[in-house]
Amino acid sequence: MILTPYGYDNAFLMLGVGICLIVLALTLGGIVLPLLAALLGILLICFTLWFFRDPERPLVADATGPGVVVAPADGQVTEVVSLAHYPALNGPATQITIFLSPVNLHVNRYPVSGIVRDVTYVPGKYLMAFNPKASEENERSIITVETATGLIEFRQITGFLARRIVYDTKRGDVVRIGERFGMMKFGSRMDIIVPASYSVDVRVGQRTRSAFTIIARPGTLTA
């Protein structure tokens, strides 16, 4: 199983702790304590390998058209909200929120192709990721990309468990839809903001897969 480089620091530490627990189990006397230590070590190793996995994710074939927006993260759509005016897009917009649980794939991929016009890191709180206030109060990164059909913004947002955002995006980068750009560790949320003229292809409660699920495209707003 391939581990994501974005998580090497945490993953290697957790794997080391898991191995130490298993070694400790071999040195303990009795039955109960060695069994518990070995079980905890095995569970920690399995969780680490699962959480920091980085499988290949081919881009969905329908995402070749200009302006198509794919999911930047695996998870569940929790909000599709109309915004009367969104300053970064200079007009009305739609916000689509994807919630990531600890068992979801946490490697993030660009939802669109284009040129990165702005990248901002904002320190903040660690409210539950499904709290509507998390978008404005939690620690987050804000990335704005100019596409062939207009500006798109997406935000990595920490949750109660997610305490670190990782991204390697810089202003001026030329990015391609479906390529990796970072991850959020241990549960979090992703907001994607598109112009109100875009049609939304997902609904609240729907599961998404990064680079595979189309969430919006240029058109007339339908959600």
User: Token digits for 24?
Assistant: 């400790």
Sign of the Cα torsion 126, 128, 134, 137 reads negative
Q: Under 8 Å CB-to-CB from 46, ≥6 apart: which residues?
A: none
Find, among 144, 157, 48, the residue nearest to 100 by Cα: 157
Q: How far apart are CA 82 and CA 92, in angstroms?
A: 8
- Identify whether the C-beta of residue 178 lies closer than 8 Å to the C-beta of residue 213: no
Query: Is 188 designated active site?
Result: yes
Q: Under 8 Å CB-to-CB from 20, ≥6 apart: which residues?
A: 41
101, 188, 197, 210: the catalytic one is: 188
b/e sequence 186-207, b meaning 16+ C-beta within 10 Å: bbbbbbbbbbbbbebbbeeebe
- Identify whether the C-beta of residue 11 lies closer than 8 Å to the C-beta of residue 183: no
Catalytic center residues: 188
